[in-house]
Amino acid sequence: MGSLFLGSFVAGQSLPARREPKIAFLGRSNVGKSSLINFLTRSQIARVSKTPGRTRLLNLFVVDDRMIFGDFPGYGFAKVSKQERAQWQELIDRFLTRDNFQYAVHIVDSRHPGLEMDLQLQDWLHRRNIPHIMVLNKSDKLNQKERAKADREARNAFPGQPLLFVSTVSKEGKGELEKILQNISEEQYQKIAEASL
Ligand code: GDP
């Protein structure tokens, strides 16, 4: 058991064919994707692979021999060219819309729910029918009043969307998120086992 770094990939490059369920971690730059992956894998794996100048790469990890985690380049750079946006889209299309099962964890800063880029990503996930959860990250930074406000705003911005407050500092939401990912992995393995009977 443990986590293994599969490699970094750019748009246009073919991704390794794997049968494990694929979980994409998506969110704006600096929202805490890598920290969350480290937290869930109880390792420093995402940090280690994130070297300066390589921020536009998709980093893939095999987790406990059961899932593939994809740490996507952050979107929402102040100035992103059309070409960069198209490349990001190509990467996510390649990872998420090929063959076996996929799931996305959309990470949003709980202090700023409902930003345009996040609305666009939600729209895209819905249009593609990609099952996902929205994680409201850095919840430790909110006091009670701010949290109630964030909850209200997120529910308004993303009606009907499952939401989970998470913090890698206070460890809020860790158990729930782990459970969700474990269930996904078990369900998929069950299906694979049934299909090969
Ligand atoms: P990424 O660019 O989305 O991969 O973001 P990182 O994982 O590198 O995190 C960006 C910054 O946010 C770092 O300084 C982290 O220490 C900080 N951070 C990440 N998660 C949390 C959290 O849950 N709470 C707090 N307070 N800070 C966090």
Ligand 1 probe mutation, 26, 28, 33, 35, most atoms within 8 A of CB: 35
Residues with CB under 6 A from ligand 1: 27, 29-35, 74, 137-138, 140-141, 167-169
Q: What is the pLDDT of residue 98?
A: 62
- The Cα 113–Cα 100 span in angstroms is 31
195 Cα: distance to centroid of ligand 1 (angstroms) = 40
Q: Quick: pLDDT tens for 80-123.
A: 677 877 887 888 888 876 666 789 999 999 999 989 889 988 99
The helix or strand, by DSSP H or E, that contains position 46, with its residue range, turns out to be helix 45-49
Evaluate whether 60 touches 15 at the Cβ level (below 8 Å): yes
Average of per-residue pLDDT across 66-89: 78
Average of per-residue pLDDT across 52-68: 81
Q: What is the pLDDT of residue 78?
A: 47
Other Cβ atoms closer than 10 A to 9: 18
99 Cα: distance to centroid of ligand 1 (angstroms) = 32
**pTM summary value:** 0.91
The two tokens of residue 96 are 């998420």
Average of per-residue pLDDT across 1-28: 86
Average of per-residue pLDDT across 160-165: 93
> Could you tell me which residue, 194 or 197, shows the higher pLDDT?
194
